[in-house]
Structure 1
Amino acid sequence: MSEALPVLPSSPVLRASWLRSREHGLVTDQHLPDGILARADFAEHIEANARLLAFSRPAIENLYRQIGGPSSMVLLADERGLILSALGNTEFLDRAARVALSPGAEWSEASVGTNAIGTALHTGHTVAVRGAEHYLDRNRFLTCIATPILAPGGGMLGILDVSTDARANISHAGALLRTTAELIEHSLIEHLESGFVTIRFHSRAELVDGPLEALAVFDEERRLVASNRAARSLLKLDRAHPSAAFDHCFATGWAALLGLAAGNGGAFPLRAVDGRSFVGRAALRDRSIAPRAPRPPPAQCAGEPRPGGQLAQMSQSDPRVAAAIATLRASAAANVPLLIEGETGTGKTHLIRAFHADHRRHADAPLVIIDGSSLRGAGASAELADRLGQAAEGTLFVVEIDALPNAMQRALFGTRTSRGATRIIAATRKRVAHLADSGRLELAHFAAAGGLQLSLPPLRERDDFDELVRLFVREACPERAIHVSPDALTLLRRHRWPGNLSELRSQLRLTLALMGDNANELCPQDIPPELFDDDSGEGR
């Protein structure tokens, strides 16, 4: 075995990790140990982390869809670096398993040296380890990014990791990874069985009641029992051990807060002890003490957006849609470019219209939409520049971005450095990973500007199909209540809906129009049989 220390990485974080790896007695050409746990032992770890696995699964699946490369995987590890689950391309999973990057293996620094999972565990922060920056030779075909998942009561619950082939470009994965970790933390707190009162708050009203809100749970003795990273940041609590009492966090009186929590759950001003003001909501968790009344709909004028903005009115029962909306909201202040993928009719334009309405800088800020496939010929660059001018201080939304020549794509995303007030959003019907691999999508300037990717699922894969049907029925017939029978929903699910939301909305409007003005229930016999002529007849 080699005695000489190889050239250390330039990053101070990774340099320190390499030195720790050597102190652990590891050498760079070390043989692969038998690091996989016996099945019985691994089952105990799975049982011990059942909540983490259950509440992280939807978010992890969404993250993998957004990363989407053929040589990639998403891993979940526990607080000691033991891999609990792996989701990815079968071929790449097999390749990773050859270096024990698979469930049952421990990837702490002490076991395998510098790597994203182990080093993130040690530092408590997001860590990227690229190719040759791995301490062990055998792991250098990998590029990995990992971020901690914080436990509701403090400390670290686990690690979320994206690993790819070292040649792949996953510069966009860091932001997606952190957002996914926050979604998991939020879900874990939402489903806590302990605690007395939950406080939702933020300095920005539109983030309250969303995945990026600050969450704090206190017990009857006013002690903080759970909080997410947003709450710890806003309240300036210790990130790892956020021990605090209510009176050390908020100047709003405890009795007044409990009165608000036992009421209708409406928003109220919430003051911190340092004088800062938040918008808050409170709810009692112990229903046996004081059941929380259903929150009444606020009074509003016809046509006026409900509180929280237009994004809040969109269905977020599907985890992938909720994650996309959370990413949009998180990007609003930074004004980074956005790239959204989704099949025809999945609601890309509707989503961006809602986002622009919620986050425009002033009432007259323009939203300019242009089809990339229409920019052809010698004047295309000039037309793009003209549209950028029209969108100044607003939003330029380019659909079919992959139809633009690469030079124009670079020019578009490069404008952000000189036009910081113009938001650049692009969309494609195809998979971003496939377009990038084939050279049809230029992402270098996009990544350099800190761009974020979003993915909208096709209707056939959404978890909120029934909710969407009822929503579109209400939209089509706002003057009367129409019940949608369970059998009708079952029948509608059989269709593949290649046109996605657009097709569903149009078909329901036609069906309701044919039913007549006196109908009050949508039944299977109301659905045109020709809708299924081109279907296989199989369920969704």
Structure 2
Amino acid sequence: MQSHQPPSLPDTLAASWERSHRHGLRPDERLNDTALARTDLTERLEANNRLLAFSRPMIEGLYRQIGSPSSTVLLADRQGMILSALGHTDFLDRASAVALRPGVDWTEASMGTNAIGTALQTGTVVAVQGDQHYLERNRILACVATPILAPTGGMLGILDVSSDARENLAHAGALLRTTAELIEHRLLETLDEGFVRLHFHTRHDALADPLHALAVFDEGGRLVASNRQARALLKLPGSYPATTYEACFGTPWAAVVNWAAQDHNTPFPLHGIGGQSFIARASLRTRRRRDPGVRTASGSTRREDSRLAAMVLGDPHIARIIDTLHDCATSNTPLLFEGEMGTGKAYLMRAFHADHRASADAPLIGLDCSTLAAGAAGEEELDNAWLQAANGTLFLVEIDALPTALQARLFDANDGTRARVVGTARQPLVELRREGRLDLRNFDASGGHVLSLPPLRERTDFDALVRQFVREASPDRPIYVCPDALALLRRHRWPGNLRELRNQLRLILALIGDEAGQLCPEDIPVELFDDGGDLHR
């Protein structure tokens, strides 16, 4: 315990003081007013665009309820960086004197014990009054902060009310929590994910309350997102709850889907596991078209719009590949994708380029190496493609068709100032190397990554892929894929992998017509598959 720690400090704040001391901070530390550069702050604001957009009206309402000219309402991101401040000009000027303003890091590591940083650390509502702040310069403030939770779990940001230390903020904690829950509810209502949206509560009249329980499930009944009230009623963990409809409710999933498909607004009884009874409303979510070109100031796609993140559907192998790609995004190391035809090598590469290219105009140049002319003409064509891809990505399909001398030269030239080389091969790279058709010495020396894409028959996310491809093919209408149809589709070997599955589903949806709301076993024509004679047995 430190001698400068005030007496009767709550346990939460005492622990924060200890952390502040371990961070190497001194209570009398002078202000180092270092804020993000304008361009960096703009990028941070763009990355939190949804949070800012949906929280703004609630923050304005909170400020009116606080009703003090000596207060400010602050919004920080999940890294503790202040994004916005609303308050009277006079108090904002005083707050700015201690760097309580947008673009400044208010984590405990930077600012010691404070409401924003400590709420970020504990995940709870935190109040810090005057002398309870670790840094002496911040003791002019009284602050209360609460986390804003993401619809899919985890923390999205921090909402804070800061005031003159002489102000009484006893009522602010409850107002803050209610405002945070309203923001969370609005973010969940507008989430462009899932299939069935389920509103429920133990009381009929509570369904009209803006803070009733809300959960979103995908076509298979997997929980996609939920709010605090839903997690409380279902006794789910607050961080990244992973569960299914069947694990939460006794009413059959098919009955809820059918009710939602009829677009009834009439409440119906919903039975929970363990004898609970709820009253509920259900609806199918109509997916909005996304603009894949929305980008940050630096040109990288916001994580919530990430094409790579959208490919993580439950297969652990694919999740590891996506993690590897994110990890090597900031370097210019070469990449090699191996996998059968149709496993998604080109799709994955394009998603990686879209998410992580250095700028909006960074080029993506593709070249099928198997079509290159022999000799000097082929080398010239490759050199031209390499120059065109400068500061972007050079995508080489069937890279093993290149002479090994050219392969080595490309990897050796990857010095971080030109194009990132991404190559694909259908055959396992180990075999190509053993046969002398692939020279990876310079690739290895450059820290290159080999990523092996599994065939569709080995993936564990088949059902999720089917539902995703159905959504892509019919973005303007929800279509329920029946479990029996999924079981039937799983019986096919899919030698063409993802490409074959996507194309066949497009054909099936075209055949069932624009009015159909379900894809059932009888909608799958046996002639679509080589072994179709066995499909409906």
TM-score, length of structure 1 as denominator length: 0.52
CA distance in 2 between partners of 1:32 and 1:287 (Å): 48
The answer to whether the Cα contact below 8 Å between 1:8 and 1:18 also exists between their aligned partners in 2 is no
Counterpart of 1:268 in structure 2 is 268
Matches within 5 A, 1:158-307: 158-263=157-262, 264-286=264-286
Question: After superposition, what is the alpha-carbon deviation per residue over 1:386-419, rounded to whole angstroms, capped at 9, x for unaligned?
Answer: xxxxxxxxxxxxxxxxxxxxxxxxxxxxxxxxxx
Counterpart of 1:85 in structure 2 is 84
CA distance in 1 between partners of 2:118 and 2:228 (Å): 20
Counterpart of 1:127 in structure 2 is 126
TM-fit CA distance, 1:6: 3.5
Secondary structure in 2 aligned to 1:15? helix
Matches within 5 A, 1:2-401: 5-7=4-6, 9-263=8-262, 264-286=264-286
The answer to whether the Cα contact below 8 Å between 1:195 and 1:286 also exists between their aligned partners in 2 is no
Question: After superposition, what is the alpha-carbon deviation per residue over 1:190-243, rounded to whole angstroms, capped at 9, x for unaligned?
Answer: 111111010001112111143111010001121111100001101100111211
The answer to whether the Cα contact below 8 Å between 2:195 and 2:216 also exists between their aligned partners in 1 is yes
* Counterpart code for 2:11: P
Matches within 5 A, 1:446-465: none
The answer to whether the Cα contact below 8 Å between 1:8 and 1:15 also exists between their aligned partners in 2 is no
- Relative to structure 1, the CA distance from residue 181 to residue 194 in structure 2 (aligned partners, 3 Å threshold; closer, same or farther) is same
CA distance in 2 between partners of 1:170 and 1:102 (Å): 20
CA distance in 1 between partners of 2:18 and 2:244 (Å): 40
Structure label with greater radius of gyration: 2
TM-fit CA distance, 1:8: 5.5
TM-fit CA distance, 1:22: 0.3
Q: Which stretches in structure 2 are left out of the alignment for 5+ residues?
A: 289-537
CA distance in 2 between partners of 1:286 and 1:68 (Å): 40
Question: After superposition, what is the alpha-carbon deviation per residue over 1:234-261, rounded to whole angstroms, capped at 9, x for unaligned?
Answer: 1100111211111111111100000111
Question: After superposition, what is the alpha-carbon deviation per residue over 1:310-361, rounded to whole angstroms, capped at 9, x for unaligned?
Answer: xxxxxxxxxxxxxxxxxxxxxxxxxxxxxxxxxxxxxxxxxxxxxxxxxxxx
Secondary structure in 1 aligned to 2:179? helix
Question: After superposition, what is the alpha-carbon deviation per residue over 1:138-183, rounded to whole angstroms, capped at 9, x for unaligned?
Answer: 0001000000100000000000000110101121111111110010
The answer to whether the Cα contact below 8 Å between 1:262 and 1:283 also exists between their aligned partners in 2 is yes
Matches within 5 A, 1:526-537: none
- Relative to structure 1, the CA distance from residue 192 to residue 287 in structure 2 (aligned partners, 3 Å threshold; closer, same or farther) is closer
CA distance in 2 between partners of 1:113 and 1:206 (Å): 45
Secondary structure in 1 aligned to 2:214? strand
CA distance in 2 between partners of 1:166 and 1:11 (Å): 18
* Counterpart code for 1:95: R
TM-fit CA distance, 1:286: 3.4
Secondary structure in 2 aligned to 1:211? coil
The answer to whether the Cα contact below 8 Å between 1:216 and 1:231 also exists between their aligned partners in 2 is yes
Secondary structure in 2 aligned to 1:140? helix
- Relative to structure 1, the CA distance from residue 20 to residue 266 in structure 2 (aligned partners, 3 Å threshold; closer, same or farther) is same
CA distance in 1 between partners of 2:279 and 2:143 (Å): 38
- Relative to structure 1, the CA distance from residue 9 to residue 133 in structure 2 (aligned partners, 3 Å threshold; closer, same or farther) is farther
* Counterpart code for 1:187: R
* Counterpart code for 1:250: F
Secondary structure in 2 aligned to 1:105? coil
Counterpart of 2:494 in structure 1 is none
CA distance in 2 between partners of 1:6 and 1:63 (Å): 32
* Counterpart code for 1:49: N
Secondary structure in 2 aligned to 1:208? helix
The answer to whether the Cα contact below 8 Å between 2:112 and 2:134 also exists between their aligned partners in 1 is yes
Secondary structure in 2 aligned to 1:161? strand
TM-fit CA distance, 1:7: 3.6
Q: Which stretches in structure 1 are left out of the alignment for 5+ residues?
A: 289-540
Secondary structure in 2 aligned to 1:220? coil
Question: After superposition, what is the alpha-carbon deviation per residue over 1:471-507, rounded to whole angstroms, capped at 9, x for unaligned?
Answer: xxxxxxxxxxxxxxxxxxxxxxxxxxxxxxxxxxxxx
- Relative to structure 1, the CA distance from residue 117 to residue 9 in structure 2 (aligned partners, 3 Å threshold; closer, same or farther) is farther
The answer to whether the Cα contact below 8 Å between 1:9 and 1:15 also exists between their aligned partners in 2 is no
The answer to whether the Cα contact below 8 Å between 2:193 and 2:287 also exists between their aligned partners in 1 is no
The answer to whether the Cα contact below 8 Å between 1:197 and 1:261 also exists between their aligned partners in 2 is yes
CA distance in 1 between partners of 2:103 and 2:243 (Å): 36
Alignment RMSD (CA, Å): 1.4
CA distance in 2 between partners of 1:9 and 1:17 (Å): 14
- Relative to structure 1, the CA distance from residue 36 to residue 262 in structure 2 (aligned partners, 3 Å threshold; closer, same or farther) is same
CA distance in 2 between partners of 1:249 and 1:100 (Å): 46
The answer to whether the Cα contact below 8 Å between 1:219 and 1:225 also exists between their aligned partners in 2 is yes
Secondary structure in 2 aligned to 1:181? helix
Question: After superposition, what is the alpha-carbon deviation per residue over 1:270-314, rounded to whole angstroms, capped at 9, x for unaligned?
Answer: 1111211111100000369xxxxxxxxxxxxxxxxxxxxxxxxxx
The answer to whether the Cα contact below 8 Å between 1:140 and 1:166 also exists between their aligned partners in 2 is yes
* Counterpart code for 2:116: I
The answer to whether the Cα contact below 8 Å between 1:63 and 1:180 also exists between their aligned partners in 2 is yes
CA distance in 1 between partners of 2:6 and 2:24 (Å): 17
Secondary structure in 2 aligned to 1:129? strand
The answer to whether the Cα contact below 8 Å between 1:202 and 1:279 also exists between their aligned partners in 2 is yes
The answer to whether the Cα contact below 8 Å between 2:6 and 2:131 also exists between their aligned partners in 1 is no
Greater CA deviation, 279-288 or 161-170?
Answer: 279-288
TM-fit CA distance, 1:9: 5.0
* Counterpart code for 1:266: T
Greater CA deviation, 4-13 or 184-193?
Answer: 4-13
CA distance in 1 between partners of 2:287 and 2:172 (Å): 40
Counterpart of 2:409 in structure 1 is none
The answer to whether the Cα contact below 8 Å between 1:9 and 1:133 also exists between their aligned partners in 2 is no
* Counterpart code for 1:22: H
The alignment covers a number of residue pairs equal to 286
TM-score, length of structure 2 as denominator length: 0.52
Counterpart of 2:298 in structure 1 is none
